[in-house]
Amino acid sequence: MKNKPTNEARLRRLNAVLRAVRDVNQLIVRERDRDRLIERTCETLTHTLRYRHAWIALLDSEDRVEVTVGSGLGKHLDRLREQLACGRFPSCMRAALGNPAVVLNENPTADCPDCPAATAATRAALACRIQYDEHVYGVLVVSLPKTLAHDPEEHDLLAELTGDLAFALHRIATDERLRLQGIILSEIGDQVTLTDLNGRIVYVNEAQCKTLGRSLDQLLGQSVEIFGDDPQLGPTPKDVLETTRTEGKWRGEIANLTQGGRRIVLDCRTWLVHDDKGAPRFLCGVSRDITERKKTQEALLASEDRYRRIVETANEGIWEMNRDQQTTFVNAHMARMLGLEPEDMIGRHVEDFMLAEDIPVHRQLMTEYNKGGDGKYQYRLRHSSGRTIWTQVSATAKQDAQGRYDGSFAMLTDITEWKQAEESLRQRELFIRTVMDNLPIGIAVNSVDPDVTFEYMNDNFPKIYQTTREALCHEDAFWDTVHTDPVLRAKWRQRVTKDCASGIAERMRWDDVPLPREGAETRYIATQNIPIPDSKLMISTVWDVTARKRAEESLRESEERFRLTLMSVGDAVIATDARGRITIMNPAAEALTGWSLEEAV
């Protein structure tokens, strides 16, 4: 009969344990909010298992306490939170973080006199770290009678509960990452397409739908041929599909057709996607619309071609030299003026073609000329036959990125036979390199106000901002790191914060943002922030627009050079379209024909 109360007590304890396990498992299955999950777990442990109190502390990526919840602590919970936030961990918590097993503290009031949770001398404490695989999420600490403190079943129960809780926290974190990834794929400006191995579309993001002018339902299940299948426009989707299947990846430009029939040019990258066994399952393609950039490039090439034809057909001599006065370019007319071929002059010093008695005067002029600016003067040059010719020179100094003298570009008119030219040709236009062919977008998930802190960033995000991942990960280091100029920093921080606070999508895109760096060329970016629903976080996208900005500036400069050159050429120049209609006349042509451009058009 003496064992009956003990057996009944153990039976009641067993029933309580089963109810607690059931209730916690139901929470794990049902609850998707992390903080509510751990808070209600603590309540279950105190109400069902009759623990005096239970508390859970979760750690962030730097092992600082991120959140603390508890049950049964009353007013002591706030004190515990303050203590943990300052990094003062109780001994049971420190021991649990360093030990995979359940840690027993038989006398918390003696071992942790400063711990707000150590309030009863008749109680012991069990602590267990919450760990899934290699990731430690935090600790669970409970207060229980000392009579149960050494019970192996209590230890096993706590270990099982923390294991289940760790799995639930891992699942919630995984779900949140998947949610963020889904939002990123949906919101980024690049077009993303996923197909099966036969080229049937299984996924497209919103950007792809918008670019093609088709709905998701119109694209899913269709062959990639719906994007366009005209080999005259370049590689077809079939070609890309076959290359990706055989070689594992593909990169290049491809033309697609929108639903309305408009041709768009894409910079596209594709690769095979394998399953966990290494077998190919899908093909993924990421592309960016470069139609406008291609138009700009074509316009630049056309402008360069027009400029080259003018240079080659001009009746004036054109001479280009580097900072050491070595010839880098002459046109055919310049060479003919001296009775030479162009290749006879390339690499030779300009003084090789002067009369010996004129060289001291030339050197004095070059000393002044090297300081920058333009110059007009007369030079005597020596013809290959030995005779002397007089030339009228209009020269323009070239400067490098640091503003230093880098050579000159001159227009020479043989005034022995012809009148002095009114204006000189400016330096020949340099081709602009395309910098965005291999530059994918930078993406990050971060807060904006009051501080910029990052939850995620890809490798290209810090690269485009010309910094490192480590530099951006410091608390609120974004503005100081990215905008080194204090005036620009204050301006952009105020504007971005204000625009993001407005909640208006159109205001949360910023174009042509300068990123000056000391000793380097200023780069420009475009960036856009996309709020994440039900969160203080935003998706930040950034891409380098330096090439576009430079191309636009160069195109304007090229057109202006073309116009000035055309206006200054002494010969009459008339251009017509394919139908023979006059589109361009320079002043010499107007003087020759007696017609103005308006009358001739």
DSSP letters for 529-586: EEEPTTSS-EEEEEEE-HHHHHHHHHHHHHHHHHHHHHHH-SS--EEE-TTS-EEEE-
Class of domain 315-414 (CATH, top level): alpha beta
Question: What does the mean pLDDT of the chain come to?
Answer: 82
CB within 8 A of 531, min separation 6: which ones?
Answer: 500, 503, 508, 538
DSSP single-letter state for residue 255:
E
> Rounded to whole angstroms, how far apart are CA atoms 166 and 386?
94
What is the rounded radius of gyration, in angstroms, for the C-alpha atoms of the chain? Answer: 38
pLDDT (average), residues 107-126: 79
User: Closest Cα partner for 317 from 334, 332, 330?
Assistant: 334
Tokens matching residue 495:
């504007």
High-pLDDT (> 70) share of the chain, %:
89
User: Closest Cα partner for 331 from 216, 398, 410?
Assistant: 410
pLDDT score recorded for residue 325? 87
Q: Is residue 428 over pLDDT 50?
A: no
Q: Is residue 19 over pLDDT 80?
A: yes
Question: What's the fold here for domain 442-544?
Answer: Beta-Lactamase (3.30.450)
Does the domain formed by 188-289 have CATH 3.40.50.300?
A: no
User: Closest Cα partner for 165 from 14, 42, 17?
Assistant: 42
Q: Annotate 518-545 with DSSP letters as a single string.
A: TTEEEEEEEEEEEEPTTSS-EEEEEEE-
User: Is 300 in contact with 558 (CB distance < 8 Å)?
Assistant: yes
Q: Is residue 418 over pLDDT 60?
A: no
pLDDT (average), residues 470-476: 83
> Rounded to whole angstroms, how far apart are CA atoms 150 and 144?
11
> Rounded to whole angstroms, how far apart are CA atoms 507 and 538?
14
Residue-wise pLDDT for 517-527, tens only, equals 888 888 898 99
> Rounded to whole angstroms, how far apart are CA atoms 537 and 102?
36
Tokens matching residue 451:
């501080």
* Secondary structure string (H, E, C) spanning 88-132: CCCHHHHHHHCCCCCEEECCHHHHCCCCCCCCCCCEEEEEEEEEE
Q: Do the strands 327-330 and 317-321 form a parallel or antiparallel pair, or are they unpaired? A: antiparallel
In one-letter notation, the amino acid at residue 318 is I
> Rounded to whole angstroms, how far apart are CA atoms 144 and 54?
9
> Which of 47-61, 69-83, 157-171, 191-205 shows the lowest mean pLDDT across its residues?
191-205
Residue 372 banded pLDDT, cuts 50, 70, 90: low
| Coil, strand or helix at 143 | strand
pLDDT score recorded for residue 140? 94
pLDDT (average), residues 186-212: 80
> Rounded to whole angstroms, how far apart are CA atoms 561 and 424?
11
Residue-wise pLDDT for 347-361, tens only, equals 999 889 988 898 888
DSSP single-letter state for residue 505:
G
Domain boundaries of the chain, sorted by first residue: 3-183, 188-289, 315-414, 442-544, 551-600
Task: Give how far the C-alpha of residue 595 lies from the chain's centroid of Cα atoms, to the nearest Å.
Answer: 54
CB within 8 A of 341, min separation 6: which ones?
Answer: 335
pLDDT score recorded for residue 301? 67
> Which of 2-11, 480-489, 591-600 shows the lowest mean pLDDT across its residues?
2-11
pLDDT score recorded for residue 419? 42
Can you tell me which residue has the tokens 């515990």?
80
pLDDT (average), residues 28-35: 87
pLDDT score recorded for residue 189? 67
Residue-wise pLDDT for 308-364, tens only, equals 665 565 568 888 888 888 999 888 888 888 999 989 999 999 889 988 898 888 888
Q: Please give the CATH superfamily to which domain 3-183 belongs.
A: GAF domain (3.30.450.40)
Contacts 24+ apart (CB under 8 A), 322-331: 322/406, 322/407, 323/405, 323/406, 323/407, 324/349, 325/349, 325/350, 325/351, 325/366, 325/407, 326/350, 328/407, 329/428
> Which of 136-140, 201-205, 496-500 shows the lowest mean pLDDT across its residues?
201-205
Strand partners, 283: 195, 272
Burial of 243 (0-12, 13-18, 19+ CB in 10 A): middle
In one-letter notation, the amino acid at residue 541 is T
∠ at Cα 87 (444, 130), nearest 5°?
70
pLDDT score recorded for residue 438? 42
Q: Which residue has the higher pLDDT, 264 or 160?
A: 160
| Coil, strand or helix at 443 | strand
| Coil, strand or helix at 437 | coil
Q: How many CA atoms within 13 Å lie on the side-chain side of 155?
A: 13
Domain 188-289 identical in fold to domain 442-544: yes
Residue 42 banded pLDDT, cuts 50, 70, 90: very high
Q: Is residue 114 over pLDDT 90?
A: no
> Which of 83-97, 322-336, 399-413, 487-501 shows the lowest mean pLDDT across its residues?
399-413
pLDDT (average), residues 256-282: 83
Can you tell me which residue has the tokens 């010093």?
349
